[in-house]
Amino acid sequence: MANVSWTRRMRRAGLVALVACSLAVTAGCGDKAEEKTDTGGQGGGTEQVSLGFSQVGSESSWRVANTKSVQDSAVSAGIALDFQDGKQQQENQITAIRGFVQKKVDVIAFSPIVESGWDAVLQEAKDAKIPVILTDRAIDTTDTSLYRTLLGSDFVAEGRKAGQWLVDRYRGRQDDIKIVQIEGTTGSAPANHRRVGFTEAIESYPHLKVIDSKDGEFTREGGERVMKTFLAKHKDIDVVYAHNDEEGLGAIDALEAAGKKPGEDVLIITVDASRGGLEALAAGKLNFVVECNPLLGPQLMDLVKKAAAGETLPTRVVTDETVFDQAKAKEVLPTRQY
Ligand code: AHR
């Protein structure tokens, strides 16, 4: 039903825009903010802003919470959302963005699965004068005019917080501490930046040694698979640094299957602070969790409305985040939303 009314609305909006465009051809039709028409949307005659959103997929509870936040906030903000699931494939996200350009949405937002390879499709959006907002993950481009803002976490800071906890935990120790790293999706901003931040924090402490690193794809299955490989390859692993909770939970599965006690025999640090992660922390199976907040929907909708109105946006909007030890996890769990 929602899709039908969306299509109708867009057809009508497209038609009115086309007529307006041909009437205004001598005046130079093309500015998205000026070209918007009354679609009869919410608010009794006010324009309903349309947003095309391309999501990465549903690899983690973080992602599921992020999707819900975007969808719920669009409804509350009265924004017509065209939501497309990229299913972990960059090609799917590129196709979705092209589709949004053809549908002439007011604003495009997306969470890029990997950092590189977006310039061509974003140039198409720019040529169509549709503002683009990056949410959650950054892209790697020299042309920053291809997007208006990036809303989301500082992943380098998250990596630094994870590394700093380790530095403090092993302060004064001289013997080698062997660390394995279960990375997020190869080429993604959180994987790249969380590795950089962590490396930065521990590099002045030569006894903290990262002995292996592998992609766990931000999933529990991936984390378990990678941890099994590490256990088969390395004796005496002291610490696991997993780039998200799911990978950390997978590492717990692998350690328990190998007869080891996660959180005691091997310390585990993760990022996200989802309910599953905090429960494992409260149970003593994880040791430290860095927060990455997925509830970006309300801020995103504010930015979308401003972009649609032609307002200037800040180039970066960073989410507020904290860290969790066992006591803090127990304290927040009863009210944790995701
Ligand atoms: O981009 C944010 C990361 O992606 C989250 O840490 C992870 O859980 C998700 O899959």
Please count the other Cβ atoms lying within 10 Å of the Cβ belonging to residue 141.
Answer: 15
Q: Say whether 145 sits in a helix, a strand or coil.
A: helix
Residue 47 pLDDT? 81
Q: How many CA atoms lie within 13 A of 101 on its CB side?
A: 17
Please count the other Cβ atoms lying within 10 Å of the Cβ belonging to residue 124.
Answer: 16
> What is the number of the ligand 1 atom nearest to the C-alpha of 188?
1
- How far from chain centre, in Å, is Cα 36? 30
Contacts of 254 (CB under 8 A, 6+ apart): 223, 224, 225, 227, 228, 231
For the chain, what percentages of helix, strand and coil (3-state, to nearest 5) are there? 45, 20, 35
Determine the longest span between alpha carbons in the chain, in angstroms: 77
> What is the number of the ligand 1 atom nearest to the C-alpha of 218?
10
To test the pocket of ligand 1, the residue of 56, 272, 289, 319 to mutate (highest count of ligand atoms within 8 Å of its CB) is 272
**C-beta of residue 151 within 8 angstroms of C-beta of residue 134:** yes
Residue with tokens 């088969």: 232
Q: What is the Å distance from ligand 1's center to 139 Cα?
A: 15
Residue 109 pLDDT? 99
Enter the tokens of residue 105: 């949405």
Q: What is the Å distance from ligand 1's center to 23 Cα?
A: 47
The residue whose CA is least distant from atom 3 of ligand 1 is: 190
Residue 182 pLDDT? 99
**C-beta of residue 191 within 8 angstroms of C-beta of residue 242:** no
> What is the number of the ligand 1 atom nearest to the C-alpha of 245?
8
Residue 174 pLDDT? 87
Q: What is the CA radius of gyration of the chain?
A: 22
As to burial, measured by CB atoms within 10 angstroms (0-12 exposed, 13-18 middle, 19+ buried), residue 54 is buried
> What is the number of the ligand 1 atom nearest to the C-alpha of 243?
6
Q: What is the Å distance from ligand 1's center to 244 Cα?
A: 6
Ligand 1 pocket by Cβ (under 6 Å):
59-60, 62-63, 136-137, 190, 218, 244, 271-272, 292
Mean pLDDT by 10-residue block, N- to C-terminus, for the chain (338 residues)?
A: 38 37 32 41 65 98 98 98 98 98 98 98 98 98 98 98 98 95 98 98 97 98 98 97 98 98 98 98 98 98 98 97 98 95
Q: What is the Å distance from ligand 1's center to 246 Cα?
A: 9
In sequence order, the β-bridge partners of residue 135 are 151
Q: What is the Å distance from ligand 1's center to 265 Cα?
A: 27
Pairwise CA distance, residues 282 & 255, whole Å: 18
> What is the number of the ligand 1 atom nearest to the C-alpha of 62?
8
Residue 277 pLDDT? 98
Q: Is the pTM of this model over 0.75?
A: yes
Alpha carbon separation from 113 to 63, 87, 116, 135, 139 (Å, rounded): 12, 10, 9, 11, 9
Pairwise CA distance, residues 307 & 318, whole Å: 18
To test the pocket of ligand 1, the residue of 64, 115, 245, 292 to mutate (highest count of ligand atoms within 8 Å of its CB) is 292
Residue 216 pLDDT? 98
Residue 113 pLDDT? 98
Enter the tokens of residue 271: 């990022």
